Amino acid sequence: MFETLAGGLEMGKVHHVALIVRDLDSALTLWRDRLGLPVELVLPIESDGVTIAFLPVGESKVELVQPTDPTTGVARFLESRGEGFHHVCFEVADLALALDRLGAAGVQRIDEAPRRGAEGPVAFLHPSSCHGVLVELIEAPGGPAWRSLGFEGSKVEEGRRHELG
């Protein structure tokens, strides 16, 4: 369900909150083994130099992000700020339209157009326009960017998912 906000932006739920960690296995010991959150997927993303894990809770998720390449911005973020909060992700109905409306409103976008993410089409907004917070937007399953980026139906490529036991 989406709510139409100021400027016509259709926004839904908080999709996930991302936490940056030095050691994914150690983080999973807390989040999975001690707090009891199930692991939905673990996915190495070589192009971004990270391995991520999604753990659903309620209608949202916790994303754990471990840098695997020390030359990436994510690794530099971890080195300068340490472990903890990295970004918040909101679901939108139409990502390209949301980016256009936000750009017209003066919000600085890291991504000018939707790109492929681990769970669908995504784009990031610059922290300088969001009071120091890195904001990610993800398009709801089945939206226009899903088709234009070649996602099949409303599911992310199953071959990219790595389930944990």
Q: What is the pTM of this model?
A: 0.89
Tens digit of each residue's pLDDT, the chain (165 residues): 788 887 788 889 999 999 999 999 999 999 999 999 999 999 999 999 999 999 999 999 999 999 999 999 999 999 999 999 999 999 999 999 999 999 999 999 999 999 999 899 999 999 999 999 999 999 999 889 998 888 865 444 443 444 444
Collapsed DSSP state (helix, strand, coil) of residue 41 = strand
Euclidean distance between CA atoms 27 and 21, whole angstroms: 7
Collapsed DSSP state (helix, strand, coil) of residue 87 = strand
Alpha helices in the chain (DSSP H): 24-28, 73-81, 95-104, 144-148
Residue appearing with tokens 């790595």: 162
Q: Which amino acid is at 44?
A: P
Q: What angle do CA 101, 102, 106 make, to 5 degrees?
A: 115
